[in-house]
Amino acid sequence: MASIVAVIASTHHPFYYRASTATGEDRPPFADEWTRKILAFRETLTRANPDVLVMVGSDHFHQLWLDNMPQFLVGKAPFYDANWYNEEREFGLPRMLLKGQEDLSAHILRAGLDDGFDLAFSNELRIDHSITCPIITLRPEADLPIVPIYTNIFAPPLPQPARFVKLGESIRRIVESWPSHLRVAVIGTGHLSLELGGPRQFGPHGPDPEFDRRAVEWIATGDLDSCLREVTLDSLHSPGNATHGFMDFMLMMGVAGAGAKADHVDTLDLFHTMEAYFTWYPNGAPA
């Protein structure tokens, strides 16, 4: 059977690529520290030596809109065009073409349905920065096949936080039941406290530092009980109007397992958000 060699969760700041590649007067003052943290984070995936990446993210109303919004969707294409024009224009992100792992996509879809998740699928999925940003930070060669999984964190009615956790637990069981010798890393990206277009968007840090502190502790220690006790669909409005992306972090806690302590934890306060990076090695840290 396949083995999960790494579980990785992070934020997905779209300006990292531009900040890290800028030079001279165009290079922001925080770029060097940010790049050092990303290089250390990248090494956690490199050490795991995966063959396949299962990528969890959320479409930012690029391909999925209110005329047809699935709660959970699995891509099952041989290739994925990646990044959209506005992401190239605003964030400087490059166009990308990523190879798909169709066999694992099919396995996740079939087993997910059998496990009680009515997963949607797409054979023509174009992916955005929620998936390409972790590719850029963790595997810039973009040479590994992927299975993209999209969650709905934007368009109510949203799934409950506990449903995200249950899906994460299901993804782990499903990947580990895949009849393959391949090594799989499951990577998901979300948000801590986040405000978009509101009065708290452009502060010296995220809009709710206390929520960020608690969130990092929940994730780092695998404290799903406390997290589920405090986090509800209603409570997530308070830390910032886009904080429902934290549920993707909760999904990844489900993949890692209740009580699983992260092997790598790092954070960085930027001008309007806290960036956070976590890695777990389910079978022990690589030598």
Domain ranges in the chain are 3-280
Q: Taking all residues of the chain, what is their mean pLDDT, rounded to a whole number?
A: 95
Q: Is the pLDDT of residue 132 over 80?
A: yes
CATH number of 3-280: 3.40.830.10
pLDDT of residue 91: 84
Virtual torsion, Cα 280, 282, 284, 287, nearest 10 deg? -70
Judge if the upstream peptide bond of residue 157 is cis by omega within 30 degrees of 0.
yes
* Entry pTM: 0.96
pLDDT of residue 287: 76
The predicted-structure confidence for 50-66, as pLDDT tens digits, reads as follows 999 999 999 988 889 99
166 to each of 40, 55, 147, 197, how far by Cα in Å? 30, 17, 19, 31
SS (H, E, C) the chain: CCEEEEEEEEECCCCHHHHHHCCHHHCCCCHHHHHHHHHHHHHHHHHHCCCEEEEEECCCCCCCCCCCCCCEEEECCCEEEECCHHHHHHHCCCCEEEEECHHHHHHHHHHHHHCCCCCEEECCCCECHHHHHHHHHHCCCCCCCEEEEEECCCCCCCCCHHHHHHHHHHHHHHHHCCCCCCEEEEEEEECCCCCCCCCCCCCCCCCCHHHHHHHHHHHHHCCHHHHHHHCCCCHHHCCCCCHHHHHHHHHHHHHHCCCCCCCEEEEEECCCCEEEEEEECCCCCCC
SS (H, E, C) 205-269: CCCCHHHHHHHHHHHHHCCHHHHHHHCCCCHHHCCCCCHHHHHHHHHHHHHHCCCCCCCEEEEEE
The predicted-structure confidence for 63-120, as pLDDT tens digits, reads as follows 899 999 999 999 999 999 998 788 888 887 989 999 999 999 999 999 999 999 999 9
Phi (first) and psi of residue 176, to 5 degrees: -70, -10
The predicted-structure confidence for 118-129, as pLDDT tens digits, reads as follows 999 999 999 998
